[in-house]
Amino acid sequence: MTGTRITIDNVTKRYDRVEVIPGLSAQFEAGEFTVILGPSGCGKSTLLNMLAGLEEVTSGRLLFGAREVQNVPAKDRGCAMVFQNYALYPHMSVADNIGYSLKLAKVRKAERVERIAAVARIAGLEGYLDRRPSQLSGGQRQRVAIARAIVREPGVLLFDEPLSNLDAKLRNDMRIELSNLHKRIGATSVFVTHDQVEAMTLADRILILNEGQIEQFATPGEIYHRPRTTFVAEFIGAPAMNLLKARGEGGNLCLASGTPMTTVAHEGEVLAGVRPERIELSDAGLKAQVLYREDLGSHHILLVQLDSGEQMRLSTSQGGANADSSEVFLHIPPDAVHLFDPETQQRIN
């Protein structure tokens, strides 16, 4: 199985008068695992449905390889989809669920049985083929849904939040399984989720969508370490990045009150972002009061208030050492600061 390159060329989507996607262009390389990430209502599911052929494209072009598919019916696009609620056919056995598309495509029975057995082996469903979906656990049902999707050997595999119905432990296991599966079958995969952990761990590249527009489309590392906009900066990472109003003055980055925070090369008004885990506790520096302390075992998350009134969150593994101190001093390394333009919300440094 080889993947198909997907090109989204200035695609728009509107329902009546509401414009959900105002014009989006992107390219997913053959065999790439792309995660579309965004808050609910950002248009990510709509985009996936348009790729699948379950919703019409209002304008623009969709290309699978060199083939224009925006007017091709879903079944002829060579893509398959895994749904959030599995959407298995409750009255059919696992084997019939997996083989239904082959049956409709008029594949001969002998070949059908063979192919069902082959994907069942890949998905770890041997011995379950005669069961009904209601006799399976959540994880097994999701495997059936995946097997059903890959049995037709699609060039494009679409996932619509497939892990959100599983419990936390199973979700971690399935994530690894999915990742391995992707490497094995090599189809171009597009995975929609609102869970940033899934996005960070699964994706070759993450496409962050906000109100139907691309905020950033880059590798997980790039997105984490060099967020292009304040939206991405606050959306990725838990706890979220601290964003403070600040000003660059003579090599110092000063807070609104004038207190210097750290050094910077930039001059003028900025929004300064610092990830909680990059803030260090030290013996001297920015003085702050601890308002609240969350003990997560491996590390502590502190909510602190600076003398000038700004609140910040910081994550520290030293939290246990000075558990009683309500007064701390913060050190912010210059290279930990992300600078954003307060007007355009775009990254500066």
Partner 1 sequence: MIERTRTVNVVATGIMIAGILFILAPIVIAFLTATLSYEEFVSGGGIRLRVSDHFWENFAHVLFETRLPAQLWNSVVISLLVAFIKCAFAFTATFALVFYKSRLNTVIFAITIVTVMLPLELIVITTYQVVANVLMPINWLLGWTGLDALIERLTGSRPYLEYSLLDSYIGVAAPIATSSTSVFIYRQFFMSLPKDLPRAATMDGAGPIRFMIDILLPLSWTPLVATFMFWFIGGWTAYLWPLIAASTPDAQPAVVGLARLANTDPDRIPDVPMLMAGALFVSFIPVLLIGLMQRQIVRGLNLSEK
Q: Please report, as ranges, the residues that interact with partner 1 according to CB under 8 A.
A: 52-54, 74-75, 79-81, 83-91, 100-101, 104-105, 134, 148-149, 160
CA distance 234 to 289: 23
Nearest to 33 by CA among 3, 72, 1, 74: 3
List phi, psi (to 5°) of 277. -80, -10
Integer Cα distance of 318 and 324 in angstroms: 12
Comparison of 148 and 171: residue with beta carbon closer to partner 1: 148
Measured from the CB of residue 159, what is the shortest distance to partner 1 in angstroms? 12
Give yes or no for a contact between 70 and 60, defined as CB atoms under 8 angstroms apart. yes
- Minimum CB–partner distance for residue 156 and partner 1 (Å): 11
Q: How far is the CB of 65 from partner 1 (least distance, A)?
A: 19
Between 160 and 198, CB nearer to partner 1: 160
User: By C-alpha distance, which of 32, 15, 34, 24 is closest to 214?
Assistant: 24
Residue 165 CB, shortest distance to partner 1, in Å, is 11
- Strand segments, DSSP code E, in 143-276 are 156-160, 188-193, 205-210, 213-218, 242-249, 252-255, 260-263, 268-274
Choose among 191, 165, 201: nearest CA to 47.
191
The minimum distance between CB 52 and partner 1, in angstroms, equals: 6
**Shortest Cβ 202–partner 1 spacing (Å):** 21
Paired tokens of 218? 């880059």
User: What does the block give as tokens for 333?
Assistant: 């390394």
Name which of 155 and 220 has its Cβ closer to partner 1: 155
Nearer Cβ to partner 1 (43/319): 43
Query: Minimal distance in Å, beta carbon 38 to partner 1?
Result: 20
CB of 24 within 8 A of CB of 31?
no
Which lies closer to partner 1 via its Cβ, residue 54 or residue 117?
54
* Closer of 77 and 278 to partner 1 (Cβ): 77
Residue among 52 and 348 whose Cβ is closer to partner 1? 52
Q: What's the token pair of residue 275?
A: 């990830």
